[in-house]
Amino acid sequence: MRTGKLVPTDQQLQEIFAVFSSPTGYERDQVYDQSSPHFYGREDLLQEYSLTQEKREFAEDAWRAVIYTLSRHGFVLRKDDIEFDLAASSGYER
């Protein structure tokens, strides 16, 4: 089995940030709509971002964003012969 290191590109970081800051399925869909002002390609990664969330809420949003983004890009997560459904694990409704 080969192993590799995941290193996100700036575009992937923009996408992760945009999904992270979009807590509902509707808002998440806007992240991928190029005509939306919330399209991830418009994110400026050099701007500051203020959080007003509890740490648990922050962690859950970050988890959901990363898992959803990995799923969207076709990654598979497997441990001890169990393959995890990343789309379902993200918590977003389809």
Q: Domain boundaries in the chain?
A: 10-89
More confident residue, 28 or 6: 28
Are 61 and 23 in contact by the 8 Å Cβ rule? The answer is yes
C-alpha neighbours within 13 Å on the C-beta side of residue 10: 6
φ/ψ of 84, rounded to 5, equals -90, 140
The reported pLDDT for the residue numbered 23 is: 74
pLDDT tens readout for residues 12-23? 889 988 888 877
Which tokens sit at 52? 């007003």
To 10 degrees, the CA torsion angle through 20, 5, 93, 30? 50
The owner of tokens 């740490």 is: 55
The pLDDT of 1-22, averaged and rounded, is: 81
Bridge partners, 62 (sequence order) = none
Per-residue pLDDT at 49? 85
Note the pLDDT tens digit of each residue in 27-75: 889 999 999 999 999 999 999 988 777 888 888 888 888 888 999 899 9
